[in-house]
Amino acid sequence: MPTGGSPKTQQPLPKFCPPAFTSRKKLLTHPGAYFNIWDSQSGSRTKELIGKPFMFRTHKLVIEAARANPGTPLCTRCWRWGHPAIACRAAQPKCARCAGPHTEDQHRHHAGCCKGDASADPPVAPTPAGQPCPHTKRCPNCGRNHSAYERACKFWSHRFDREWFVAKYAEVRAHRLARLRRPPNHPHVD
């Protein structure tokens, strides 16, 4: 273990992983570097370090304890970000796979893509039992080809940025209201 200090007071320095630096554009307050410290169960080494200054390049920094950020909750009923399922006010559940008005576990029984259509010409067979849905996914948040909970979603990449969700959903509501206020497209009769 590395040691530091004068020969008389040499004490082992705590081990730590290389720092992880936060991106300036993703920060709400100030840039930071995060270190994982190998410590005892009581956390005695870490407690000793908190509040202590150290030099990093030309900057004098003070060690602070990291604050937990659980992120923005994702509702597993309507698949919208910002609230848990227990607080969901949606009139009906939404499918994370196709954004239809059913739960994901009921997708095969309620989704038109998997139910099939015997009256179509030619008839469309339902997805065979035990087979995964082969149809294109549709995210209920961004409308792209993935499920609501997949990392491919741009909403997922903002899961720790509550302000982004507030702004994004306000934008969606404004767009929806503007669309509702437009007069219907009636042909002009002269």
Provide the residue type at 7 as one letter.
P
DSSP 111-177: -HHHH-BTTSSS-BPPPPTTSPP-SPP--TTT-SSS-TTSTTSHHHHTTT-HHHHHHHHHHHHHHHH
The predicted pLDDT at position 12 comes to 53
String of b and e for 59-88 (b: at least 16 CB within 10 Å)? eeeeeeeeeeeeebbbbbbbbbbebeeeeb
CA distance 96 to 113: 14
Residue 50: partners with Cβ closer than 8 Å, 6 or more residues away: 63, 64, 65
The predicted pLDDT at position 77 comes to 96
The predicted pLDDT at position 2 comes to 46
- With beta carbons less than 8 A apart as the criterion, state whether 64 and 53 touch: no
Predicted TM-score of the model (pTM) = 0.58
Residue 9: partners with Cβ closer than 8 Å, 6 or more residues away: none
Tokens in use for 126? 């339902």
pLDDT < 50 positions in the chain = 1-6, 8-9, 13, 24-28, 190
What's the DSSP call for residue 74? Answer: B
> Based on C-alpha coordinates, what's the Rg of the chain?
27
What is the residue extent of each domain of the chain? Answer: 14-62, 85-169
- What is the torsional sign of CA 3, 5, 8, 13? negative
Residue 99: partners with Cβ closer than 8 Å, 6 or more residues away: 79, 138, 139, 140, 143, 148
Tokens in use for 20? 């992880």
